Structure 1
Amino acid sequence: MSADTLRRVVILRHAKSDWPQVDDHERPLAKRGRKDAPVAGRWLAGSGITLDLALCSTAARCRETWELAAPELSERPRTSYEERLYEASPGELIAVLNEVSDEVHDLLLIGHNPGAQGLVDILASEAEDDALARFHRGFPTSAIAVLTLNGSWQGVEPGVGRLVAFWAPHA
Structure 2
Amino acid sequence: MKRILLMRHAKSSREEAGLADYDRPLNERGQKVAPRMGGYLRDAGLVPDRILCSSARRTRETLEQLWSEWETLPNVAFEDGLYTATAASLLERLHALSADTGTVLVVGHNPAIQEAAVDLAGGGPPAAYGRMKAKFPTGAVAVLVLEGDSWAGVGRGRADLERFVAPADLEPA
For residues 1-171 of structure 1, what are the structure 2 equivalents within 5 Å? 6-19=1-14, 20=16, 21-128=18-125, 130-151=127-148, 152-171=150-169
Moved runs in structure 1, 4+ residues, more than 2 A? none
- SS of the counterpart of 2:99? coil
Contact 2:120 2:155 in 1 (8 A): yes
Letter in 1 for 2:121: A
Q: Which deviates more, 96-105 or 134-143?
A: 134-143
* Cα separation, 2, equivalents of 1:130 and 1:74: 32
Percent identity, please: 39
The change in CA–CA distance for 1:50 and 1:15 in structure 2 (over 3 A counts) is: closer
- SS of the counterpart of 1:72? coil
- SS of the counterpart of 2:100? coil
Deviations 1:124-154 (A, max 9, x none): 0111363212213311000011000023112
* Cα separation, 2, equivalents of 1:85 and 1:62: 10
Task: Quote how far apart the aligned CAs of 1:73 are.
Answer: 1.7
- SS of the counterpart of 1:88? coil
Normalising by the residue count of structure 1, what TM-score does the alignment of the two structures yield?
0.93
Give the root-mean-square deviation of aligned CA atoms.
1.2
- SS of the counterpart of 1:147? strand
The change in CA–CA distance for 1:46 and 1:129 in structure 2 (over 3 A counts) is: farther
Task: Quote how far apart the aligned CAs of 1:170 are.
Answer: 1.6
- For structure 2, the residue ranges without an aligned partner over 5 or more in a row are none
Question: Partner of 1:3 in structure 2?
Answer: none
Deviations 1:63-86 (A, max 9, x none): 000001101123221111111111
* Cα separation, 1, equivalents of 2:130 and 2:40: 20
* Cα separation, 2, equivalents of 1:129 and 1:113: 21
Normalising by the residue count of structure 2, what TM-score does the alignment of the two structures yield?
0.92
Q: Which deviates more, 19-28 or 54-63?
A: 19-28
- SS of the counterpart of 1:87? coil
Letter in 2 for 1:164: E
